[in-house]
Amino acid sequence: MQFNILCDFDGTVALQDTTDLILSAYADPQWEVVEKQWKAGKIGSAECMRRQIELIDASPAELQALLDEVEIDPYFTEFAEFCARRHLKLIIASDGVDYFIRHILARIEMAHLPIRSNRLVVNSERSYTLAFPEAQSGCASGTCKCALAQASESQTLLIGDGRSDFCLAHQADIVLAKKSLLDYCRQHHLRHAAFEDFSDVRSMIAALIDTPQIATPSHMSNPVSLAM
């Protein structure tokens, strides 16, 4: 059984939201006003992110120094190596910032992983904006994860934790969830399995590969059907 694994980054691979960390340290406090507008549904995440990134006043060196402090799930590297051995396609699919993600992945020697995310554009030494290479018409997110899933001929396995994963949770063949994505799946009666860290994820995916008949959505009627 082959999967197209779309894995969220902030809050999933990284245990913190890297964008919020950067904004809290280096952006004008107006970024929190923009955040409230997004949470209230007044603007989409792409507009929210662009406006917030444009409020940052920091050098690349300052950004990198803060990103070096971000804690990573201690089992993620082992999980990525497991995917490589099993010939599973693992893609980092994030509505965050590619520059932040790439710097952290390079730090843990995972820079080779493909990334689909918003792209940081450097305007000057201390000024930035965002571009959206993975955006789709009609989708308010900067990175349309649903479009990424639809472009694949393999079954889609989503690993995520937050709001940027909600839409794809309705379409993915398999959903591994924690935090607010887990709450969302429960509230909307979506088939899913809960996880705490990537050691859980590895065990669940290994079970799916070794017992392929449970990989179809019809065999995930129980929200904890894949719990190990």
Asked whether the beta carbons of 192 and 223 are under 8 A apart, the reply is yes
pLDDT tens per residue across span 74-107:
999 999 999 999 999 999 999 999 999 999 999 9
Q: Of 3-17, 142-156, 181-195, 213-227, give the lowest mean pLDDT range.
A: 213-227
Place of tokens 């779309």: 6
The CATH class that applies to domain 3-14+73-117+134-219 reads alpha beta
Length of the chain in terms of residues written: 228
* pLDDT tens track for 107-146: 999 999 999 999 999 999 999 999 999 999 989 899 999 9
pTM: 0.91
Q: What share of the chain has pLDDT > 90, as a percent? A: 86
- Round to whole Å and give the CA distance between 119 and 104: 15
Is the pLDDT assigned to residue 214 strictly greater than 80? Answer: no
Q: Sketch the domain layout of the chain as residue ranges.
A: 3-14+73-117+134-219
Long-range contacts (CB closer than 8 Å, 24 or more residues apart) made by 104-107: 104/14, 104/18, 104/67, 104/70, 104/72, 107/67, 107/68
Amino acid (1-letter code) at residue 165 = D
Q: What does the pLDDT read at residue 127?
A: 98
Per-residue pLDDT at 226:
44
Q: What is the pLDDT of residue 220?
A: 47
Q: Is the pLDDT of residue 213 over 60?
A: no
